Structure 1
């Protein structure tokens, strides 16, 4: 079952990573501009953010493999519909936006189910290693997918790239849907709003979790700033050109993969402190950007920051699964994902206007201070493991 889980998550990660490049090239071939592309890409994000809390409640009520099956099948159908339209020569941006919205809604329900699926299948001593393997697969997918989608699009057209994505989602759905867990959802059946409120109480009774999640939200926001300002500065002002920015991004990917590999192999005594320190390391590329550092220095700083992210991801997944009751895990993780999913697009959106007001250097320094302060202060909220588990929240 563990190998089936890993294979399903790898297929789903690759399919997910194919979508942005495929949609971008499809919109551009349809004659759309940056505004049209933004609308299509945002169409997935809006229903995702709105429905995540609902998905968290459902994830605690339904067997996780069934929810993963339904989510990936829905995304398969949405990509198949996009493929059919593009192959038939139909390039309606409204259709692309609506089908992207359907996929976003599916992610909102499927994503909170994944942590429950992991803890249902993987024994506790093996979860960190499994989360690390899933993290490696996800990291490698983000590197390989744009090249794969671009190659298929150039060779055969974006319709075939969307078709490939649909096939991968179908395979993921069959694989994850074949995982067997015992029983229905782990949470007691109550009114929907009571379950939603109960999930928020689980968050509030864990100050360490809330402090960490807010710190991670600041990390995502600052990452949005860097990924907007960084390429402009490297290409136009630091003399690195497109090759320089590519070097920085590839170095970050290598750093993240190495961090994920290292996480289960290092003798880490305080995993939550390492998680927050890993997020705080993002101050390094922001400081380098503010100083106008040469490309090799900026690449080294980004490598270290992404190594910290590589450590963060599997450690965080494992600790939260250990510390949050299974019956509330879907709802608790949905709040976590909501903050993360919302923060980075906000950073991407406001980076250019803020830089126009303050200048790139001042904005980068501010981002560095924010990401370091929010995450290092959160370490003070990380008590010993024996103190992290609050008393059970009484049902209402």
Structure 2
């Protein structure tokens, strides 16, 4: 079952990573308008954010493999509809926006169910390794997908790229939907339908009752916000002060290498306090922000970004595993939906406000402020982290 879980998550990650490039090329090819592209992409993000709290309740109420199955089938249908429309030469932006919104809703409902699926399938002592393998698949997908989608679009058109995405989601649905898991004893017998609001409130109490989780998630939200600043201002500085596009490509590719190496290293590091390691890893993002503020030569920024992304690679599987061990399984979907809400909202906000803020403060001041903020927010959370318990150890 663990092999099936890894295969299904790999297929889903690749399909998810294909969507932005396919949509971008389809919309720009049809309209040439960056504003229209922004609206279509926002049509996916806004429903995702609105639906996440509800999705967390359903992820805890129903078997996770069924939730993931339905979510992937909906995404498959939406991408197939986009592909058929593009192949028919219709190119109606309203249709693409509606289908992107459907995709966003499906992402929202599938996302909080995944941690529960990992918990249900992987034994406690193997969860870190499983989360690391899923992290490797996700990282590689983020690297390969733009090239794959771009190649298919150039050779056959964006319609076929959308249909390829639909096929991958269908394969993911069949793979993950067929996983058999033991029934959750806390959910045996089902839940009364009238308890939905109470379950939503109970999920918030689970979050609020863990100050370490709230502080950590807020720190991660700051990380995503400052990543938005870096990814907006970085290309501009590279073009104007670092010698052009090649310098930015060097920086980005160095970060990708660091990310993959970090994910590989995570289960092999002798980490005694995983939650502390997570916060220190997040604080490392101060390095590329400060390097870009100076700015250092391109190779210096690339090295700093590689270290920061190595930290992200270590952070992700450690966080997934540690949270699954600290949060009761019956509440895991609701708690993780809060985590996802903060993360998904913060980065677009950083992307949106980077240029206006830089116009007021200057790029150097904004980047240095971001460096201080990301380090302070994540290191401050350490004081709220509970005493260490080795990953995989039974709960006391």
**Shorter-chain-normalised TM-score: which range?**
over 0.9
Residue in 2 that maps onto 1:315: 318
1:245-292 deviation digits (Å, cap 9, x = unpaired): 111111101101111111100111111111000000000000001101
Residue in 2 that maps onto 1:189: 191
1:329-355 deviation digits (Å, cap 9, x = unpaired): 000000000000000000000000000
- Return the alpha-carbon distance in structure 2 between the equivalents of residues 219 and 154 of structure 1: 35
- Return the alpha-carbon distance in structure 2 between the equivalents of residues 28 and 35 of structure 1: 10
Residue in 2 that maps onto 1:324: 327
3-state secondary structure, aligned to 1:60: helix
TM-score (norm 2): 0.96
- Whether the aligned pair in 2 keeps the contact of 1:62 and 1:184 (CA below 8 Å) is no
- Whether the aligned pair in 2 keeps the contact of 1:62 and 1:185 (CA below 8 Å) is no
For 1:35-184, list aligned pairs within 5 A.
35-183=35-183
For 1:280-319, list aligned pairs within 5 A.
280-319=283-322
- Whether the aligned pair in 1 keeps the contact of 2:184 and 2:330 (CA below 8 Å) is no
TM-score (norm 1): 0.96
Residue in 1 that maps onto 2:367: 364
1:147-205 deviation digits (Å, cap 9, x = unpaired): 00000000000000001000000000000001111226844735111101100110111
Q: CA deviation at 1:31?
A: 1.6
Residue in 1 that maps onto 2:272: 269
Structure 2 residue 238 is matched with structure 1 residue 234: yes
Once superposed, which parts of structure 1, at least 4 consecutive aligned residues long, lie more than 2 Å away? 182-190
- Return the alpha-carbon distance in structure 1 between the equivalents of residues 21 and 262 of structure 2: 26
- Whether the aligned pair in 1 keeps the contact of 2:281 and 2:314 (CA below 8 Å) is yes
Q: CA deviation at 1:235?
A: 1.4
- Whether the aligned pair in 2 keeps the contact of 1:13 and 1:138 (CA below 8 Å) is yes
Residue in 2 that maps onto 1:247: 250
- Whether the aligned pair in 1 keeps the contact of 2:272 and 2:388 (CA below 8 Å) is no
Task: Give aligned pairs, total.
Answer: 387
Q: CA deviation at 1:242?
A: 1.2
- Return the alpha-carbon distance in structure 2 between the equivalents of residues 144 and 81 of structure 1: 24
- Return the alpha-carbon distance in structure 1 between the equivalents of residues 2 and 182 of structure 2: 15
- Whether the aligned pair in 2 keeps the contact of 1:226 and 1:286 (CA below 8 Å) is yes
- Return the alpha-carbon distance in structure 2 between the equivalents of residues 349 and 138 of structure 1: 25
- Whether the aligned pair in 1 keeps the contact of 2:273 and 2:389 (CA below 8 Å) is no
3-state secondary structure, aligned to 1:89: coil
- What is the Cα-based RMSD across aligned positions, in Å? 1.4
- Whether the aligned pair in 2 keeps the contact of 1:64 and 1:185 (CA below 8 Å) is no
- Return the alpha-carbon distance in structure 2 between the equivalents of residues 107 and 123 of structure 1: 26
Q: CA deviation at 1:29?
A: 1.1
Residue in 2 that maps onto 1:383: 386
Residue in 2 that maps onto 1:16: 16
Q: CA deviation at 1:236?
A: 1.8
3-state secondary structure, aligned to 1:180: coil
Structure 1 residue runs of 5 or longer lacking an equivalent are 388-396
- Return the alpha-carbon distance in structure 1 between the equivalents of residues 37 and 71 of structure 2: 24
